[in-house]
Amino acid sequence: MKKTNQRINSELFGIILFVLSTAFALYLSFNLDQVPGIAQESKGISFLFVIYYIVFIVIFTAAALYIIKRHAQVMKAIFIVLVLYMIFLVSSIIAGIVSVNLPEYYAIITVITGFFAYMLIFRNEWYITDAAGLIMISGAAGILGILLRPDIATALLIVFALYDYISVYKTKHMVTLAKAAVDNQYPLMFTLPSNRNMKMKDLTFDNRGSHSVIMLGFGDMAIPEILIVSSAIYNPLHVVLFVALTLAGAIGSLIFLFFLNHGKPAPGLPYINTGVIIGFLIAIAIIRI
């Protein structure tokens, strides 16, 4: 009974993280949507973006796996820099929202980015990576949610769901990347432990089960959140309906993923993306009745 309760805590933590990151992404997107010129950028984005994006991800992943085999710590530094760049970008957005005073503006950016730089490099633990990941994916989902129309965002989710399925079950290169991320403590995945006192240095990909830890890639939250944000931005008269149904679809899929696919690597996007798309289509059907 005790082990069951521990698993529920881990899964509930993952669902709470998804809801928090979605709320933060929506907050960022609604504020950015008021900036002249940003929303208009979406008019120049076509379905070719989906192709460009997936090609970029495939090339980047191949390059990452190549570097990991030879210089694992170099790849760790690259991932940290990428995460810090997104934190810097989100910090600048937050600073622009809460302050018009330049000293305060730069102070907010410096404090937030500097804090995560220090912690990720010198004192990283699971909760630091999770917090950094939440900021990173919220920023990415918020920005892409504005730039991509719902139809393009839906196409992106479908393509990435297929890619995730192939990369986990067929080529298995995403499993290789996940193993390297856990074993080398890359800031690439959410760590959802049942024991909050767990130390990252004690965790490996192979012993995560004995530690009752659930791992969820940053992309497993960021990609589906793009459609949640996009559907809200492009349907302002029905924003509550679209957010509620797409988020409900995501949560339902997360529950299915956590409870029926634990104990072995499983692609998250085929489940979560499907739930979000179903929620989006139901919302479309409701407003057209």
Task: Render pLDDT for 104-119 as a digit per residue (tens, 0 to 9).
Answer: 899 999 999 999 999 9
Strand, helix or coil for residue 215? strand
Q: Give the model confidence (pLDDT) of 243-256 as tens digits.
A: 999 999 999 999 99
In this prediction, residue 244 carries a pLDDT of 97
Q: Give the model confidence (pLDDT) of 37-48 as tens digits.
A: 555 565 667 788
Across residues 13-22, what is the average pLDDT? 96
Q: Are 225 and 141 in contact (CB under 8 A)?
A: yes
Which of the four pLDDT bands, split at 50, 70 and 90, describes residue 239? very high
How far from 37 is each of 25, 154, 231, CA to CA, in Å?
19, 23, 19
Range of the domain at 160: 2-288
Strand, helix or coil for residue 217? strand
Q: Give the Cβ contact number of residue 74 at 10 Å.
A: 10
Q: How many domains does the chain have?
A: 1
Strand, helix or coil for residue 64? helix
Amino acid residing at 225: E
Across residues 169-176, what is the average pLDDT? 92
Across residues 57-72, what is the average pLDDT? 93
Rounded Cα gap, residues 74 and 55, in angstroms: 23
Q: Give the Cβ contact number of residue 126 at 10 Å.
A: 19
Interacting residues of 241 by C-beta distance below 8 A, sequence separation 6+: 235, 283, 286, 287
In this prediction, residue 195 carries a pLDDT of 82
Which of the four pLDDT bands, split at 50, 70 and 90, describes residue 61? very high
Which of the four pLDDT bands, split at 50, 70 and 90, describes residue 4? very low
Interacting residues of 76 by C-beta distance below 8 A, sequence separation 6+: 184, 185, 186
Q: What rounded mean pLDDT belongs to the chain? A: 89
Over 60: is that where the pLDDT of 238 sits?
yes
Rounded Cα gap, residues 249 and 278, in angstroms: 7
